Structure 1
């Protein structure tokens, strides 16, 4: 495998699509600084998945996309494609060529492709595992990477060695396994929690289920026994009724003769009864008001109890907080003692550090004295060396000058002949240039006329476009305003619909009854069966008030189940309106206002209910009208204003503000009105959008026309500029030719003079060369003496430095100790602050609680005062009730007298009546017994006698003892949860499911642990084997590159091979063994190169890109570096980015990076001579 090429478009300075082909062998990329050489390396790193934009010398993703120049627009995206030859199947895919592509947009979106198919970055990393290619591999080495290898922590060196050892794929699989293990463990913990919860549920549920099954069995047997017993009793009673009815028929014939006499008395009784009914209704209204006040009184008492309980809880909390404060104060005192101890220890260690520092200072003074001696000697050496170099330079210059002068003298004669021919050539060129210049000027005048015409068209179109733009801005503002209004109305409507759906305004009990599908006969609440005309909502809401949530049911007896449900679930009380018992209530009214029943709409089946509720109520426009009507009719019926004020029967008046959640009809009408407004606004928005689109289409047409004009303008400008440039070029060439002609004449004169002077200088320089050679020999002797003296002083300096290093080590240990102690002191200080803060928070909480207690006490006093007012209202209504009752008593007495009169009239019929009464009594008793049987059946089994016929079984032996036994067995079961049968089935199903999931996860965790251990074993074995080989390679290559010495890699902890740090220890020839950080810049770079070559020698990488890593090397090291690199060229393709002549001379191919246009990089193939030119620059 090797790198075949790279395609770059829009990446950094590469604007246009740029393709670079990389043949096998060694390739060098050269160019001036800032031309974009390193952008090629950045492009390769980026396409291989580099996520850190800072590593690519940018701040954000869009920084890698071409940002434009003064003449070129920025691009919206960039893409890089890396093409690899895969003939040797190093990457396990079915293709002989592998292309990796990355594309990014300014929006931040980034895409990856493998052979043209979209993929994830993870897929690219996986396919390149253990190839050495990638972000963590060693296929890309820059100067910064060299510094990382040398100065980094052991973990970064480890990444290189692991890649070379081939264990990266194992580590990747191990990390994936550990992620899966963590996920599986987390899932197991979650499932264990659920499983334990289900396990705790299933045992009691099983017992409940078994009890419920027994209950159902006993209940079924009991039902059959009791139903058949009732049916048998009913049949016997019906036979008795048949006998009684025969006797009754005979006596009733006699009784009918006397009924006429009672007619007048009964008429009087009827009118008296009507008066008494009116008094009864009045009593009901007063009793309802008393009941409501008592309910409010109970609610307030409950609120007082809750607030008292809150006060008690807060007092208990304060006691607990005070106890916590005491404990915290005691703990804080212990921490402060420890803090003082550590402070003393810190001061003692500081004194030790000061003593060692004094010793170091003394040694450093000695070192400075020796360094002064060395500097003096070095200065002498540099002086002699400089003088030697100066002399050598002078000698070289003189020798070059002599050779140059000799050559010049020989060439002057030839030059005189050449001058004559050049004079003739220049005159011919000048005549040709003048002719071309005249043609170009004529074309420029024609282009100028065309440009003026196009610019006028563009200007007119721009004015029209601005007009459309203003109109569109206005339209958009209107659309946005309407959309905001729609959004506001929609939010309000949604809120109101949520209140409607949640039955806001209804009591808890009513909500539950409406939602309970098991209860039969429930139709709806009053509020939901009527629709109120607009403008009358408040009036109807206030007239009906609490009756809005009265529940309409089919039959009166069905209310029993609902009331039992309310009691059982503790859901409060509710009022039921049976359709079979409620009678209509109406009266004639032709005065101001309207009858309440006339402003509502309802289904005809609810007519009696609505008539009963609203039939005797009136709605007027305002309070003045209400006062007038109420007075006129002596407060005999209920009146409401449209704004919700109420004139009650008896004269009381109710008014004020109300809770919006109770305004049910207002809410519904508001919802409907809002939906109508939203529909109108949506239509308006649609009309505005249509107008906007029409304008936009006109804008598009103008823009297209402008684009054509601008393109034409640009094309003509390009032609104009081209002609201008050609004209300028021609003028420049003309001036140049004229100047050259003048120069040529001057040059000929100069050459004649120079020839004369060169001959004289040549003879003088020969004598100067002999004198300089004598001076050079004297300087060499002085330099040898000074170098020996310098060696002796350096030996003294090394011994002194060792002593200083030992003292610095002691000082470092003490500083570490001081740092640790300081850290503990800081931690204790933070702990003290934390304790103090918590104590302060507890005190604040106590203060807050005391303040809240006072507020609760004030609220309790307020509620108690309200209770006094409510109690007074109750007393007033009771007093009114007493007065009404006295009137009722009078009417009752009159009624009693009429009934006595009736009895007197009936005295003549005593004998007949006695017989009738006796017979009817007997019949009633029998019917009552049948009714009891029916009620018993209805109450126990919710069925009629007719329905019970389906259960009749004459073969069953009916036994009271059996019934008693079954009831005792049911009673012995206690509370039974019938739903537990279905609930147990569901929970048991979940139990089986989670048990299976738990077992699967436990097996999965076991398998993952086994795989991780297996991977770790393989990693240790492979890493250990390859580490030893790479270590040996490193030592061998180090000796080659340094011409001797040694180098080795050191594992800090060989018992933890996979995690331990890795250090580099080297010994250059003629120096002591030392850490790599003590080397010079060139030595560090060469050591890193030795390690890189050692890795490649063990595991060749398909290609290796080296970015100016040869920069710190001198010429001798460059030679050794290149020499060894060429030994690896058969297995690894090398691409170097360099400025060094030696590196380029060894290359098989050279690419140059230039910026012919500012800010835009171009690739050119270079000859070796051109590359040398770039080096010199």
Structure 2
């Protein structure tokens, strides 16, 4: 004996503590319906770990707690204990001889579990009963549900019963877990493959970039070696070159002194001869001034006309823009009007369709109500005719013989009629609730589908925005990098230019050394105002012209007085420095443009006096006017020559391109080193421009970084939004699938309830008719009247008519449900179109307001255009001014002829002056070349010094350590160029790519290793699945054959003959492990048939045979049978009870029954009664003891 007793307290109807002792053999539990005897089986099932309230015939787990009666209060907890004899080690993990398993549930929902009164977990209980046959998967508790499961299950579903019996459920669970792991592994493998593909895509450009970076570093090292050696070579050879250039300059200066003396003598002769010509020029100048004033007035009028024309163009442009906007607004209004028309049309159609559907619904509803009334009336007529039916079936004498039997049948039928009526009432309420739930679910599914579609649309929009945001991130990141690179380049140039300006690198050595010394000697600096280049600010446009006009004077040093000049000259001599020209403010004389030549300022192409085109402190006015006062700037050579001739070369002229026309008539010009000359004035300006550009670039950089951060934040935010939408979309999919599944279940439930209600209605109607027949028959015994005959054909026709009406009522009910759903959809569509119409009408109102405003503005513009056209017509030059201009031009023409004659007289003198000028120009050009060469030597050396200092942080002392004995200067110059071109050819190089490549390659290798591990794991899991499948198949085949053999034996024994067998349906299964199980039986005297073709009793008996076959395969220590004999007839019950008795030798049976043959085989009977309404009580009788007691009496 293993199972000793059951103790229940507060469980369902067991309000009082009850103990049921379990002995060997068969223990029977009997009692009338509703007394609570099946609660005993529920109690055992509950203690053994059942977690489903439905399996315990409740709605929630709290339903197992005694809920009280009219005279008893409800209890706060339920408690059940099971006692087992463990001497035979039923529970091998426990050492106790007796094991008590307890479960307690409180109304708060808290559960407690105990083993031998020691609190434990449900898991602990499940562990100790595992493999004992007592768990959910075993057959320790068998109810009518198991019998029905065998009978009603489809062959494929029925397979699960035999899998449980064969003990492969655990294998199947492990296989499912392995398949889940395989799917997860495949997903992870796919994700890693995607990452590896992305890394492969990144590695190719990174490998190329890192190779370029390594090549760049190699070239840079080679270039560094050559440039350092070139710097050392240049530093050591520059002194020799400068000595050669200085010797050449001394020779040229002596030649220029001789030429200057000869030129001055020629100038005196030339001045006397040009006096007369100059007077003529003065008169012509006055005439030209007047002519210019007239021309200026005419130009002013012309300018007014141009202004008005520009205004007209602006107004016309505004009008065109306004007209374009009007067209756009009108197009938009037309589009929205079309949309409005569409929505109104759809709204009207929806309303019309709703009215039609509503009308159809009302008509069908009326027909349905009318049909129900006819059915009710017809059923009354049938009942009336059924009164006659009983009279026609038997005579009054026959009825008298069966009077008692009819009375008993009527009582039974009446009781069944009441039960059916109650069940029908419950079914109708449940059907109404189910139909309402179905309608709600249909609405919910539609809403969820729309919500899912909206989420999908929003998710796609976010993904598109995220792609755009990522493009912007890369764009701004690249822009920030480019700007940072430009800033670095500008800062290098700023440092170089600042050093040039600070060190006077473009100046003669003596000036440079003097000014450099003054920076460190306050006494020396107190005698210096600055060099000419420092006190004059020249606009960029005039830098070349001013450099030519000033020549070497830009390097002259300005002092406060002659005494300062003397002090500085003594300093030069004391330090062995070459001569420097000083310009004392107290003695230097200003030179203004001779009034005779003021007219030149009005000549074509004249930019103005040189001294007035520059800016300077007023204290330096005498210096600037002395140097530039008699110099005029022209735009080009042609205009300069024409003006010089007109004014007999009385004024020195320079052009913007650097040509110079001296008062001697000499003209100099040609290609010049603009960087060497213009930079005298342009360094500071260029430096400021670089600084301004650098500041602007820094602001642009900050904007680019801010834009990058904003774009990155936007991308991050969109990424987060995408995650949220992905989650919401998945949730929406799950909700939609869940709701759809619920809707399908609700629809199935409605259909099932409707069919059940129809079946119960027909059953009740049949019972009512039978009761009425019996009542009539019993009444006829008293009256003795004969019954009339009936027309069988007419009766059949009436019944067929009623059947057609019932079928039509079902169709009408289904159509009405569909129409209600359609009405709900139409109401939603009407609301949507109404909302769209309201929104579009508001937008069109705004557009119409804007249209009216633009119309008004367009009208104002038209008025302004007309006024401007009138103003343009009034801007015309007068005829008197035109006449005066003609007269002046004629006088100037006559004077020009006279001046030409004077020019011919001067020409002879100009020839000799020209020869002197050519010689002077040639000498000056050579001087400039030598000075430029000298400056170039210094500049190149300084540039190399700055480059080596900035690039390699070395000076000469540091660089000389890298000098190579085999250095070849000529070869190095070419090699440096090649290296720079090679580096330039590489383009932008990312040095970080070397580390990025290593890091990415490392990550790639790591992921590749993970991928290989996952592939191995994938193969291992697939091998496990294959092994499990093989084991399951082999074990199922082995155990199934045993069950089939047991079934054949038990079937023949229980049926007293015949045959039965089980077959695996391999023909209709793709997978042998999923093949269904077919049951065939051949009761004595019948042919072999499928289980579904047997009678109800035969089906139930066959199913019980299968359960016994399974129990024989897997004997249980005890087994509870809950009314599995209810469907058997008397003879089969007796066979079942006798066979059960045979099994009781090896298994304890607790049989819940109300069948007499089963009770007779019980060794102990417990009667469950309900003497107190709602409270179960237990009484026991030992049949063996009763028999002994009877025998002794």
Instruction: Give the TM-score, by structure 1 length.
Output: 0.41
Larger Rg: 2
Instruction: Give the TM-score, by structure 2 length.
Output: 0.41
